[in-house]
Amino acid sequence: MKALILSGGKGTRLRPLTYTGAKQLVPVANKPILWYGIEAIVAAGITDIGIIISPETGKEVQAKTGTGDRFGAKITYILQEQPAGLAHAVKVAQSFLENSPFLMYLGDNLIQQGDLTYFLKEFIQENHDALLLLRPVLNPSAFGVAKLDEKGRVLQLVEKPLVPPSNLALVGVYFFSPIIHDAIACIQPSARGELEITDAIQCLIDQQKQVAACKLEGWWLDTGKKDDLLEANRIILDTQLTPCILGQVDDQTQVIGRVQIGSGSKLINCTVRGPVIIGEDCHLENCFIGPYSSIADRVTLIDTDLEHSVILQDAKVADIHQRIVDSVIGQRATLTVAPRRPKALRFMIGDDCQIQIM
């Protein structure tokens, strides 16, 4: 059994952050989104992993993620020259996949830890040709949607339908036997010029192959937009954060609840109310850090109130006396304030920005 993670795409919904970096490397609780998927796949027992990369961000993904040793896996990087669809990604990975069954996982998805093991067993034991993970959603028109019969068998897949046949969205996690390659060879590009994986699966359905679906009971998040990213950060901090203080905390600083502070970080006269994660070599002075905040390595915060926000590496925020909430601030960004200030601040700030609030 192999795994194929898709880590291409331009991440347009997370711009400006993704003008300068891969969306799958944006951190959630100070860990790249992509790494959660790798860890979940390895935990399910699959260690031979191919990662689809793009020309624009592939080198960054490869440099940061490495050979797979840190995860107990072997990672092979596969270049997809053009974003020509999910089925096209499988096509360019065929030499890696060979005749092995495989798990396909969209790299900007997060699902509850441990779920993959159950679905992998279902796929193997029932000898399915394809197994799709589904989740009820409020806005099915934004997703690929499955129509099931009364016994739960997949009858039809529709990509972003105007009139959805159900509220069951494709989660972005699929299990395939090698027969999917034959189905992909039979399909044509869609109206948007892409080889759609939904068309390939529909081909299997039309050929009476064994296409099954399972409903995902745990949480699932597509981290393609700012609010989704913040919600993923909240859930991970709620469910996975281990309290640990390795940095320096002075006598005037209060640390309340589950808080993790990395080595080399220094907190002076701060209040930190968890769940919060603070990376390594940070400097925080005269700050309030509220729940569900993630602060990456080498961040400087001075005279700043922060809550429910994600601050990326090497950012600097100083002299902001209004509370910053629901915000994502990119790498190396600088945020300062002029004398006249508004009452509330909400941001999504890309890498390398310099902003002064008037």
Transcribe 271-283 into DSSP letters. EEESSEEE-SS-E
Q: Please list, residue by residue across 257-295, b when 16 or more beta carbons sit within 10 angstroms of its beta carbon and e when fewer do.
A: ebbbbbeebbbbebbbbbbbbbbbbbbbbbbbbbbbbbb
Residue 342's pLDDT is 55
Residue 180's pLDDT is 96
8 A C-beta contact, residue 139 and residue 210: no
Residue 206's pLDDT is 92
Residue 302's pLDDT is 96
8 A C-beta contact, residue 270 and residue 256: no
Residue 19's pLDDT is 47
Which of 122, 120, 108, 141 shows the shortest CA–CA distance to 38? Answer: 108
Residue 356's pLDDT is 56
8 A C-beta contact, residue 250 and residue 268: yes
User: At 43, is the secondary structure helix, strand, or coil?
Assistant: helix
Name the pairing type of β-strands 168-176 and 130-136: antiparallel
User: CA separation (Å) from 274 to 88, 238, 328?
Assistant: 43, 9, 18
Rounded to whole angstroms, the Cα distance separating 265 from 275 reads 17
Residue 353's pLDDT is 65
8 A C-beta contact, residue 159 and residue 196: yes
Tokens of 323: 């509370």
Q: Which domains does the chain have, with CATH numbers?
A: 2-236 (3.90.550.10), 243-357 (2.160.10.10)
Residue 57's pLDDT is 86
Please state whether 66 falls in left (phi above 0), alpha (psi between -120 and 50) or beta: left
Low-confidence stretches of the chain (pLDDT beneath 50):
11-16, 18-20
Rounded to whole angstroms, the Cα distance separating 174 from 128 reads 11
